[in-house]
């Protein structure tokens, strides 16, 4: 039977043209049909490589033509191109000298999945978190001016999803008055990871489809295009005509125009020739400009066009059929922590009518979608807006609701003041579920949830907990909504837990109480969170060496279990702390403070994420690099205990 090929336009895979592009300089002389050919080859190359080495997929396919047009027209790295989030920049990486390394994308020691200035001079700004590009572009344009380099073009490429982030508006507002030369390209594909939300999405659709508005605008546009062809200095004429029409029609009816941006578009983001013409024309126009480009996420790969959420960042898939290649297991696997959260919040919300679920743009990633599907009126996707998500939750709490605000640990960094000012000072009972806490793996430094323990520990009145396993995650969520009394943080990692049979009846956890998992005599290990399971493995290795270790699962960083610490320090003078979090400021720091404040004497070794930025790799590789995988913990323990054992032997 004939099988439908998922690559809709079959492209030969010899990459004849792509192979000749070592840098954007090689693209300047390409003719129209060659730009089209290069786009096809680039798309095919991304499909081929990402299908076998997983990463972000749909977003890069959607901007293939835009990427080719940008590097054809602009003169990077002198001209600066800033990719918002940067998950769509694979084409940019491939065209800027990283084609032959692209198979190492996101792998340990390989290139980063996001633009990174230390990796390439073509990566004008480091990204990973959204909505920063317009601010950075404005700063660069201002800086260039000071250096007398205002001929330098600065381009920010931002998606409609990322335009839901508050920073983007702060920057548009500032840029509209700052009168710097900069171009914002709005890549409008009507989707973030999940479908875009909010009124702005409707507005963008309106201006993209309003016939009368676009007719007037197109007339202006055609005239500009015409003028630019008959005279190299179209600016003077263009500006006169544009200003006249702008004041009549555009300014009243276009948000960007009213912010003093010249608005161009919407244009078809898959027509590489038209894009290059448009970019050449507007490059010459001074001041802040916004080009509205309409694209399709996943363009050119049928399965990714059909299921844009799943193909945002799929695992391995068949490059011909688009079928996902799932790992097969011979026995049932423990669940993902995110699914434990998703199923548990729904279960709790069925009985506690006050529970409301909030996510800033991650319904699928956080699995809040499980509750969303059954209770759409009690769940909110607020857009990529972490600060708003926190204060919106605070508002809900003032009304007596029990908000569960689920934010990835690294994105929570955005909303620090909101947690202190809007939640903690008012002691509002918001439950913060921090997904992806600790080392997250291949997304790398921008995405590791390294700092939450440190940055929350110093806030008065916070409860900060981390479960050892799925059952504890459920019990902590259950406890947090039983007698809501103030902010309650529950952090858990990316990936699977350890318990197959995890859906057990709820039981209340005593706040501020840890537990002893194992007794021992040579040394005590204190851990917090699921990393405690690596400690358990380390202890079994150590038993073979006759090293006897006591293991305590702290469960709460705050309030910390002082009676547990008392009993540990009355028995042990050697202690190791283990946390999948920055060793500066987290559990280890808390324990050392406790020893100091209570006049105990002990040697404490802190294992955790060191005081430097850790790059990408698998979680296992990174645990190993940081020395808190089971082998690392065992090795550190041996080092601490062996002199003591030798003394005993003598």
**116 lies in the site for ligand TPP, by CB under 6 A:** no
Least separation, in Å, of the C-beta of 443 and ligand TPP?
9
**297 lies in the site for ligand TPP, by CB under 6 A:** yes
In whole angstroms, what is the distance from residue 626 CA to residue 535 CA? 14
Whichever of 76 and 157 has its CB closer to ligand TPP, that residue is 157
**192 lies in the site for ligand TPP, by CB under 6 A:** yes
Active-site residue, 414 included: yes
Tell me, by CB under 6 A, how many residues bind ligand TPP: 21
* CA-wise closest residue to 607 among 590, 582, 585, 631: 582
* Pair 334, 501: CB distance under 8 Å: no
Residues 445-504 that bind ligand TPP (CB under 6 A): none
Strand pairing category for 288-294 and 262-268: parallel
**59 lies in the site for ligand TPP, by CB under 6 A:** yes
3-state secondary structure of 289: strand
Active-site residue, 378 included: no
Stretch that binds ligand TPP, among 159-167, 170-178, 560-568, 584-592 (CB under 6 A): 159-167
Member of 124, 361, 490, 560 binding ligand TPP (CB under 6 A): 361
- Its sign, for the CA torsion 133, 138, 142, 148, is positive
Least separation, in Å, of the C-beta of 521 and ligand TPP?
47
Least separation, in Å, of the C-beta of 204 and ligand TPP?
11
Site string for ligand TPP, 412-451 (x = CB under 6 A): --x-------------------------------------
Member of 39, 162, 344, 582 binding ligand TPP (CB under 6 A): 162
* CA-wise closest residue to 616 among 441, 498, 447, 452: 441
Active-site residue, 48 included: no
Whichever of 132 and 144 has its CB closer to ligand TPP, that residue is 132
* CA-wise closest residue to 628 among 645, 641, 614, 643: 614
Count of C-beta atoms within a 10 Å radius of residue 205: 16
Q: Identify the helix (H) or strand (E) that includes residue 377.
A: none
Burial (CB < 10 A; 0-12, 13-18, 19+), residue 251, is: middle
* Pair 467, 137: CB distance under 8 Å: no
Least separation, in Å, of the C-beta of 191 and ligand TPP?
5
* Pair 147, 181: CB distance under 8 Å: no
In whole angstroms, what is the distance from residue 519 CA to residue 562 CA? 18
Stretch that binds ligand TPP, among 158-166, 275-283, 456-464, 492-500 (CB under 6 A): 158-166
**314 lies in the site for ligand TPP, by CB under 6 A:** no
Stretch that binds ligand TPP, among 186-194, 419-427, 540-548, 576-584 (CB under 6 A): 186-194
**201 lies in the site for ligand TPP, by CB under 6 A:** no
Residue 34 is encoded by which pair of tokens? 């060659």
Helix, strand, coil shares of the chain, percent, nearest 5, are 45, 15, 40
Residues 367-386 that bind ligand TPP (CB under 6 A): 384, 386
Query: Cα angle at 407 between 406 and 412, to 5 degrees?
Result: 145
**193 lies in the site for ligand TPP, by CB under 6 A:** yes
**299 lies in the site for ligand TPP, by CB under 6 A:** no
Stretch that binds ligand TPP, among 191-199, 220-228, 425-433, 472-480 (CB under 6 A): 191-199
**160 lies in the site for ligand TPP, by CB under 6 A:** yes
Residues 84-103 that bind ligand TPP (CB under 6 A): 85, 87-88
Least separation, in Å, of the C-beta of 189 and ligand TPP?
5
Least separation, in Å, of the C-beta of 448 and ligand TPP?
13
Question: In the chain, what is the greatest distance between 2 CA atoms, to the nearest angstrom?
Answer: 96
* Pair 50, 311: CB distance under 8 Å: no
* Pair 414, 386: CB distance under 8 Å: yes
**600 lies in the site for ligand TPP, by CB under 6 A:** no
Least separation, in Å, of the C-beta of 178 and ligand TPP?
23
- Its sign, for the CA torsion 163, 164, 165, 166, is positive
Task: State the residues that interact with ligand TPP by CB under 6 A.
Answer: 59, 62, 85, 87-88, 129-130, 159-162, 189, 191-193, 297, 361, 384, 386, 411, 414
* Catalytic site positions: 297, 386, 414
């Amino acid at each position: 039977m004939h099988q439908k090929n998922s690559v809709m336009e079959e492209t030969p895979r010899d990459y004849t043209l792509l192979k000749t592009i070592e840098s954007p300089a090689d693209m300047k002389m390409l003719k129209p049909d060659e730009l089209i050919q290069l786009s096809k080859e680039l798309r095919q190359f991304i499909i081929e490589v990402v299908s076998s080495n997983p990463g972000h997929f749909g977003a890069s396919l959607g901007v293939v033509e835009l990427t080719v047009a940008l590097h054809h027209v602009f003169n990077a790295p002198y001209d600066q191109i800033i990719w918002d989030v940067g998950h769509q920049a694979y084409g940019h990486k491939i065209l800027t000298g990283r084609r032959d390394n692209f198979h190492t994308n996101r792998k340990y020691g390989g290139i980063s999945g996001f633009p990174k200035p230390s990796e390439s001079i073509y990566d004008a700004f480091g990204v990973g978190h959204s909505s920063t590009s317009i601010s950075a572009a404005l700063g660069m344009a201002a800086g260039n001016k000071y250096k007398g380099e205002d001929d330098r073009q600065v381009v920010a490429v931002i998606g409609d999803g990322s335009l839901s982030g508050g920073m983007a508006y702060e920057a548009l507002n500032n840029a509209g008055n700052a009168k710097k030369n900069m171009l914002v390209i709005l890549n409008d594909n009507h989707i973030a990871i999940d479908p875009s939300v909010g009124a702005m999405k409707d507005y963008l659709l309106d201006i993209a489809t309003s016939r009368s508005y676009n007719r007037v605008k197109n007339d202006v546009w055609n005239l500009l295009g015409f003028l630019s062809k008959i005279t190299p200095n179209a600016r003077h004429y263009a500006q006169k005509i544009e200003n006249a029409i702008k004041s009549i029609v555009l300014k009243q009816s276009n948000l960007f125009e009213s912010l003093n941006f010249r608005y161009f578009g919407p244009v078809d983001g898959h027509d590489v020739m038209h894009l290059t013409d448009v970019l050449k024309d507007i490059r010459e126009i001074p001041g802040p400009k916004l080009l509205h480009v309409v694209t399709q996420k996943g363009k050119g790969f049928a399965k990714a066009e059909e299921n844009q959420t799943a193909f945002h960042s799929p695992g391995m898939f068949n490059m011909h059929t688009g079928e996902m290649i799932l790992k097969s297991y011979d026995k049932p696997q423990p669940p993902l922590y995110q699914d434990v959260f998703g199923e548990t919040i729904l279960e709790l919300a069925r009985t506690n009518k006050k529970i409301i679920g909030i996510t800033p743009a991650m319904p699928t990633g956080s699995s809040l979608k499980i509750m969303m599907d059954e209770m759409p009126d009690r769940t909110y996707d607020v857009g990529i807006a972490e600060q708003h998500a926190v204060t919106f939750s605070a508002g809900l709490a003032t009304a007596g609701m029990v908000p569960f605000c689920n934010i990835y640990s690294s994105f929570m960094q955005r909303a620090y003041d909101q947690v202190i000012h809007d939640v903690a000072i008012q002691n509002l009972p918001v439950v913060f579920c921090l997904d992806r806490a600790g080392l997250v793996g291949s997304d790398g430094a921008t995405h590791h949830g390294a700092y939450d323990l440190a940055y929350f520990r110093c806030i008065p009145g916070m409860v900060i907990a981390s479960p050892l396993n799925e059952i504890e995650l459920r019990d902590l969520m259950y406890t947090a909504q039983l007698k809501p009394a103030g902010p309650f943080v529950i952090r858990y990692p990316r990936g699977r837990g350890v318990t197959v049979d995890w859906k057990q009846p709820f039981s209340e956890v005593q706040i501020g109480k840890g537990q002893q998992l194992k007794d021992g005599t040579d040394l005590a290990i204190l851990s917090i969170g699921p990393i405690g399971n690596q400690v358990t493995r380390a202890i079994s290795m150590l038993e073979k060496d006759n090293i006897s270790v006591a293991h305590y699962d702290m469960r709460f960083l705050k309030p910390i279990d002082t009676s547990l610490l008392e009993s540990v320090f009355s028995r042990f003078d050697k202690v190791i702390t283990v946390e999948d979090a920055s060793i500066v400021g987290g559990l280890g720091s808390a324990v050392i403070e406790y020893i100091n404040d209570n006049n105990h004497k002990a040697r404490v070794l802190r294992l955790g994420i060191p005081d430097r930025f850790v790059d990408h790799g698998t979680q296992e590789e990174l645990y190993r690099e940081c020395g808190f995988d089971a082998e690392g913990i065992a090795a550190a323990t041996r080092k601490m205990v062996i002199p003591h054992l030798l003394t005993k032997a003598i």
